[in-house]
Amino acid sequence: MNVWTPSLVEERLAEAAFVLKRLPEPRRQGYFSTWPAVLHSFGDKVGQEPKPMRVLPSPQAISRMEETLTWTACLEPVDGRIVWMKAHGERWKEICWSAGLHRSAAHQHWQFGLAVIALTLNKRRFNRNLSKQRVIELASGA
């Protein structure tokens, strides 16, 4: 990928969030159970919901996720939080409540964050004093 666009950045962030959800939960070292494993009979299992299968992500997906985690370092904390919350599939109502912004302002912060990441990945210089809308237009025209 030579040219990064905000939509490609959005897809990669969404993939990274999905990979993070699929990783196994960390376990504390040094703790173990001395209880024997419980063997359930067929009668015990009859009304239970099946456990969801947990498919572990591939090593390539984990590598892409690790690379993606560093992308929000160049953003303001509010923009980074909004970008990650949207990547995790949060609803705009929750994002607005968390950031303390109106829907249109939160959407502009999200677009600005994606644009800054895309411009940074493309190694394009831009003036940090530009308006958010101008930076979004610069990234879209790349």
Q: What local confidence, expressed as pLDDT, does residue 1 receive? A: 55
Write the DSSP symbol of residue 74: G
pLDDT, residue 142, reads 45
71 vs 87: CA distance, rounded Å: 13
- Find where tokens 């609803």 sit: 91
Q: How far apart are CA 19 and CA 40, in angstroms?
A: 32
Altogether, the residues listed in the chain come to a count of 142
Distance CA 88, CA 15 (A): 9
Q: Half-sphere exposure (CA, 13 Å, Cβ side) for 64?
A: 16
Are residues 6 and 139 in contact, defined by beta-carbon separation less than 8 angstroms? yes
Report pLDDT for 85.
96
> Which pTM was predicted?
0.79
pLDDT in tens, the chain (142 residues): 578 999 999 999 999 999 999 888 777 788 878 888 888 888 888 888 887 777 889 999 999 999 999 999 989 999 999 999 999 999 999 999 999 999 999 999 999 999 999 999 999 888 888 898 898 888 887 4
